[in-house]
A and B are shown apart, each in its own frame.
Chain A
Amino acid sequence: MTEHNYSTQVISVLVYNHPGVMAKVAGLFTRRGFNVESITAGKAKYEDMLRLTIVVKADKKSLEQIQKQLFKIIDTVKVSVINPDLKVEREMALIKVRSQNGLKSELFQLVDVFRGRVVDASPSGFIIEITGPVSKIEAFINLLSINNVFEIARTGTVAINRWPVKNQTTQEGRI
């Protein structure tokens, strides 16, 4: 297996919400030695199904294996890799920040620039909500002084493909 050409990929998996299905999916990654960055799960369009969004670091070959092994789980209905060019990707973070004299207005400005929101305030500090692609959230966290940050809770990535643009698909079809 080649050790280069690793890239971050987002896999979307639709599964039946049967007991143990999360353990099956999560176990697969350790068992087969795949690198996971995040797994999120939530109800899908259908009542009895879950949509899992899994962010992995993988090369082409292991990405293919991951998809096949995921599909092999009996409860798996569909596995798809999110197309990086058509991806709409979001993560949400709740960040608990300590109050510090004089830094309040600077912090609020920063939150504004990143289109975040202050969702809780108290004499001891604030809670900031920020949503966006992973890169935006990381950029925001990097700007906060680590000493000021008390706690961070992140949801992990969810992603979905955009509607295909009609012309584009026909063109691709021709190729």
Chain B
Amino acid sequence: MILASQVWTEVFWTSAIAGGLLAGVPLMFTALGEAISERAGVLNIGLEGMMLAGAYCGFLGAYYANTQWAGYLTGIGAGMLTSLIMVVLCVWLGLDQIVVGIAITLGGEGITSVLYQTRFSTVEPRLGAVPTNPIPLLDRIPLLGKAINGQFPLFSQPLVVYLGLAFAVLLTWIFNSTNIGLNLRAAGEKPEALDAAGVSVVATRSYAVLATGALAGLGGAYLAIAGTGGFQPFLTQGQGFMAIVIAMLARGRPIAVVVFSLMFGIALSLSTLLQLAGINLSTEVVNMLPFAAIILALILFARRAYLPPALALPYVRGAR
């Protein structure tokens, strides 16, 4: 069924990379955020809700202010606000992280759907295309740089994507070479040690979760603004959970997160890709593939998924 000639064209591979990026960047932002939380010992099941909050508010911001940056900012804010619930209930009060996470996800899904439909259901507004910031010279490289047919590969991405990649590098440095990073890792490995060293475990984890909310909000905003150009109820379709998987598989290392996110992004954008290659599969099969791939990855790498020892356990001083 594969028509060889069609697979080996420039269009195909450019689209592969471009599609992978487009679908993978929201995952990347969100998964980077989750990596921060997980390293600090907090399991964020409510990521889906945070992403949706960011998507909706990001969409609102971009729509009314007519610039993508306003959308990103509002998205970050919305994500942080949503994660605040997690901070107060789980980090401060020590309530069950999984239950609260489920509540945030369901609530987030519901409220974004309700708000959107009450305001926009008849109108269905669309956002304009996001301007890209091609890197001069590099953007002439075929496959990696040159844009074809409206598909933008690596070196012709919007600015925010470059910022995201730079942030991943920054995060690696933060984890390994700064005091904040050390505190964060200690909070996830053995919070008692951090407390005995005189650092507030609660404060450290709070910042971590807020950062996660911010990044998840950004991921959602990017998805709405650059990815689909608008908002739909339940827009994220499980990508929040995919981000959790990515963070686990990457063992919390930011560069690995980026790589995995792009791989998953390619899996997500498979449908258009396959159409280009002349392979005809029904939409459902294609939709299934990313999740099936994840299950496969989990089966193959079951032993290697690394989780910090203090994950999902609330820290209470004096307890062992």
Q: Are A and B interaction partners?
A: no
Chain B residues at the A interface, C-beta cutoff of 8 Å: none
